[in-house]
């Protein structure tokens, strides 16, 4: 270690902390002139090393002092033995919620990245979380849904039999590729959007953070798989999908607003994928839609329970949700009228450009199923739209 005097400026807050811990005047300078960095000094100060201990440490040539094992005496609950409640599922995150470790408060007050159930440090930093109210994000179903999500993951490169694809008529291939371009866009955008909100949720609600991580991963896989289908059979990517809906989702200022906006599209897409047999051209596409429907069902289960829980906890905000749903419904029906969205589906449903009228009639039937499914999903969440979008009402008529 160098004996050269330090020229590093010592922050005043470091000096203040040293004084609190009983460090003698000049002890910081002695530590740094002995070769210790300011970062190491800070670690000692933040760790609560008192002046006497620091002095002994430096007097002994910087050798490690006898540890006191304070970390072994933290007052957390001890003697826990988590056990798997379902042998097939194994030890799940739900099985860990025993004793005080399963206490998920309605409001989480710690602003750091503390693991729920651990003992807090004396001084911590604010990590920038903004969501501390459980009612805004929570749904009990996320605990088992997380386990199902990681169990049922699929791999687009090997679980879809790409080699079985056969050449399609040019107009059909173009319609498929346009639909795939749109769905890849939508999946990628929603995953990126949720990724931006994940850091806002405090660590007290770990289970929802874990579940949303699987949703983001699912959506990335969907974007990948739709893109692969567009490029795997002699076609290519089509025209960019409309962005009206994406914009209103991006502009959401709170998580409940975002969740309501996504509720609308996610419900519609779930019904679309569940009916994929009606417009799929081969087994690869049928399997793709079935995998996506399974993933989307988990997301809708969360949407429904989260909204139901939210309305139960803060019933005075029920009417506010009508505003968010109304905005989203308006964007959905506007995009449904866009030729980039409706014509490819009509071509696929009808069987070609020359059968577009028959395809449009079938598309109207499909849109009705989507709106009916959406209304039913809202009912499951104990929500009844007071002013369903007029165009949607026409579709239901």
The DSSP bridge partners found for residue 338 are none
1 band by pLDDT with thresholds 50, 70 and 90 = very low
Two tokens at 340?
């980039």
Nearest CA-CA partner of 146 in 92, 75, 189, 110: 92
For residues 140-162, average pLDDT = 97
pLDDT reported for residue 5:
47
Nearest CA-CA partner of 196 in 182, 218, 212, 184: 212
Task: Give tens-digit pLDDT for 234-247.
Answer: 999 999 989 999 99
CA dihedral over 89, 91, 92, 94, signed as positive or negative: positive
For residues 351-363, average pLDDT = 96
For residues 75-95, average pLDDT = 92
Nearest CA-CA partner of 46 in 66, 26, 78, 18: 18
Mean pLDDT, the chain, whole residue set: 92
**Which one has a higher pLDDT value, 355 or 62?**
355
Nearest CA-CA partner of 177 in 347, 60, 63: 347
Q: Nearest 5°: phi and psi at 133?
A: -95, 120
86-100: burial string, b at 16+ Cβ within 10 Å, e else: eeeeeebbbbbbeee
Quick one: what percent of the chain has pLDDT higher than 70? 96
Quick one: what percent of the chain has pLDDT higher than 90? 75
pLDDT reported for residue 66:
55
**What single DSSP character describes residue 201?**
B
For residues 81-106, average pLDDT = 93
pLDDT reported for residue 27:
87
pLDDT reported for residue 62:
56
The full set of domains in the chain, from first to last, is 12-68 (no CATH), 134-396 (1.10.620.20)
């Amino acid at each position: 270690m160098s004996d050269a005097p330090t020229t590093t400026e010592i922050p005043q807050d470091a000096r203040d902390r040293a004084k609190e811990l009983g460090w003698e005047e000049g002890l910081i300078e002695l530590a740094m002139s002995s070769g210790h960095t300011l970062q190491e000094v800070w670690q000692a100060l933040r760790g609560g090393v008192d002046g006497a201990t620091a002095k002994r440490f430096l007097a002994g040539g910087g050798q490690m002092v006898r540890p006191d094992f304070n970390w072994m005496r933290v007052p957390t609950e001890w003697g826990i033995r988590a056990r798997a409640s379902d042998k097939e599922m194994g030890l799940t995150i739900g099985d860990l919620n025993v004793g005080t470790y399963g206490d998920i408060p309605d409001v989480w007050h710690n602003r750091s990245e503390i693991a729920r159930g651990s003992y807090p440090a004396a001084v911590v930093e604010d990590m920038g979380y903004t969501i501390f109210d459980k009612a805004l994000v929570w749904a009990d179903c996320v605990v088992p849904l997380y386990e199902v999500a990681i169990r049922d993951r699929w791999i687009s490169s090997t679980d879809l039999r790409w080699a079985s694809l056969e050449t399609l008529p040019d107009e059909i291939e173009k319609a498929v590729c346009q639909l795939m371009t749109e769905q890849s866009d939508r999946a990628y955008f929603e995953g990126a959007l949720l990724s931006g909100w994940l850091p806002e949720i405090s660590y007290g609600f770990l289970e929802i953070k874990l579940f949303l991580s699987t949703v983001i991963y699912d959506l990335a896989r969907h974007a990948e798989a739709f893109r692969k289908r567009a490029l795997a059979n002699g076609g290519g990517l089509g025209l960019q999908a409309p962005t009206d809906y994406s914009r209103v989702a991006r502009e959401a200022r709170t998580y409940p607003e975002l969740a309501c906006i996504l509720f609308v599209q996610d419900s519609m897409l779930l019904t679309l994928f569940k009916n994929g047999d009606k417009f799929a051209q081969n087994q690869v596409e049928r399997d793709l839609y079935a995998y996506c429907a399974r993933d989307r069902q988990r997301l809708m289960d969360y949407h429904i329970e989260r909204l139901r829980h939210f309305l139960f906890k803060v019933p005075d905000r029920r009417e506010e949700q009508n505003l968010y749903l109304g905005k989203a419904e308006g964007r959905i029906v506007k995009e449904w009228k866009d030729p980039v969205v409706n014509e490819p589906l009509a071509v696929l449903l009808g069987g070609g450009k020359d059968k577009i009228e028959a395809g449009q009639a079938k598309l109207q039937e499909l849109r009705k199923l989507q709106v009916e499914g959406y209304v039913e999903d809202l009912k499951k969440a104990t929500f009844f739209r007071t002013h369903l979008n007029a165009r949607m009402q026409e579709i239901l008529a």
